[in-house]
Amino acid sequence: MSETLTMPTLTIAFQQRARSSVARSQKGTVALLLRDAGTAGQSWALASPGQIPEKLGVENQNAVRRVFKGGVNPPKKVLIYCLGAEDTLNAEPAAQAEGGEEPPVQAQPGSGAAALKWLATQKFDYLAGPADLSEAEAAVLKEWIIRQREDNRAIYKAVLPGCAADNEGVVNFTASGIQAAGDVFDAAAYCGRIAGLIAGTPMTQSVTYSVLAEVEDVDRLGGAGEDAAVGRGELILTHDGEKVKLGRGVNSLTSLGERPGIWQKIKIVEVLDMIQQDLRLSIQDNYMGKFQNSYDNKLLLITAIKLYLQALAKDQLIEQDFTCDIDVDEQDRWLQSQGVATADMTERQIREANTGTHVFLDLDLTPIDAIEDVHVKIYL
């Protein structure tokens, strides 16, 4: 059976347990959209608060400083794009009409379409919008994040206010009445701060119960209300009687389908995203088109992946009992689709068979979560 040729493909699937990766990506970058009258269309890449442009409005400078507060560490980098003061986030520019001769209309600097175009050229971990992000704009960013993750295999994620996206790539931050530095902030105004906190938290830790030292108080939900909010996929703030801290570190995913519950955890999705990107980039850069697709070279690739996973296991990001091998079942199915009679072949023969340009691998691994639920019995 003939195949229709397309661009070389690398399919990394996650099934019941995570399937993923090779060559460690570094997290820690926040993309922040601002609305600023004097700097529309301008962008910056900042490595520290000392680099915050003075031309930004005072409120926007403070918003950037909040991002740099980070978590255990400050974020590694903050990328800024400024919308115009009256510009809003909306759909990307319409594609050129089929068969048309006129070039597509260019997005105006500082427009919502220009902001999305700029974002697609950047490498970042978490996105947050302007302090006055509207519900409609949050919906645009939600759809953009989901589309980038599904269509372009990007590992972008976003912290959005009151956005029940039901997707592991969107953190639904819903706190209100956030009292800090003499002001009261809503969720939209504090999403950048939360994005910086998550980006600055090592993958060996979760953001659960991370303290926001600058926050004096917050609207309190009560125990039952907090449990209900977390169950709805909301990242909340809680006051423990002494300080304000994040609730359980969950994303907005609530409809699991056949996926395990770990997909609802910010920490776990960070690890899985890293693994997926590492594997994809490492295989594309170092293997695709550079080796003959022989059985021996497939084994070399498997060895490289195992070495990478061993490093993750050493850092206690995944369990030690991971496996990586040729996916014999998928290879068998592919051979049959090419007209090869595999019924009389041994498993070894199927493993070592010529598979054209295709390599079928099966990874089985278990990410390690953080301590979050402690049960203590006290006997008197």
pLDDT at 2: 61
Give the three-state DSSP class for 86: coil
Q: What is the pLDDT of residues 31-66, one digit of tens each?
A: 999 999 999 999 999 999 999 999 999 999 999 999
Structure tokens at 23: 């060559």
The CA distance from 263 to 17, in Å, is 10
Predicted confidence (pLDDT) at residue 362 exceeds the cutoff of 70: yes
pLDDT (tens digit per residue) in 329-343: 999 999 999 999 999
Stretch 130-156: mean pLDDT:
95
Amino acid 91: pLDDT: 63
| Mean pLDDT, residues 312-341 taken together | 95
Q: What is the pLDDT of residue 90?
A: 86
H/E segment holding residue 118: helix 112-119
Strands (E), 40-76: 43-46
Q: Give per-residue pLDDT as tens, 1-20.
A: 566 776 665 444 323 223 33
User: Who's near 75: CB < 8 A, 6+ residues apart?
Assistant: 28, 29, 30, 67, 68, 195, 196, 199, 200
**Residue 32 near residue 126, CB atoms below 8 Å:** no
pLDDT of res. 96:
42
- Highest-pLDDT range among 178-182, 282-286, 312-316: 178-182
Domain ranges in the chain? 29-86+112-246, 287-364
- Name every residue whose Cβ is closer than 8 Å to that of residue 249 and which is 6 or more positions away in sequence: 198, 206, 207, 208, 210, 235, 265, 266, 267
Q: What is the mean pLDDT of residues 121-126?
A: 95
**Model confidence at 212: pLDDT above 70:** yes
Average pLDDT estimate for 232-257: 97
User: What is residue 92's predicted lDDT score, i.e. its pLDDT?
Assistant: 57
Query: Which CATH number does 29-86+112-246 carry?
Result: 3.30.1370.220
Mean pLDDT of 144-161: 95
Residue 140 has pLDDT above 50, yes or no: yes
Segment 299-308 mean pLDDT = 89
Report yes or no: 269 and 170 within 8 Å, Cβ to Cβ: no
Model confidence band, residue 278 (pLDDT cutoffs 50, 70, 90): confident
User: Could you please report the per-residue DSSP string of 217-279?
Assistant: E----HHHHHHHHHHTTEE-EEE-SS-EEE-S-B-S----TTS-GGGGBHHHHHHHHHHHHHH
123: pLDDT strictly greater than 90: yes
Q: What is the pLDDT of residue 3?
A: 65
Q: What is the pLDDT of residue 18?
A: 33
Residue 113 DSSP symbol: H
| 308 and 34 Cβ atoms separated by less than 8 Å | no
Half-sphere exposure of 202 (CA within 13 A, CB side): 8
What is the C-alpha to C-alpha distance for residues 120 and 118, in angstroms, rounded to an integer? 5
Q: How far is 196 from 326, CA to CA, in rounded Å?
A: 40
Cα(70)–Cα(87) distance, rounded to whole angstroms? 28
pTM for the model stands at 0.89
**83 three-class SS:** strand
What CA–CA distance (Å, rounded) separates 223 from 322?
38
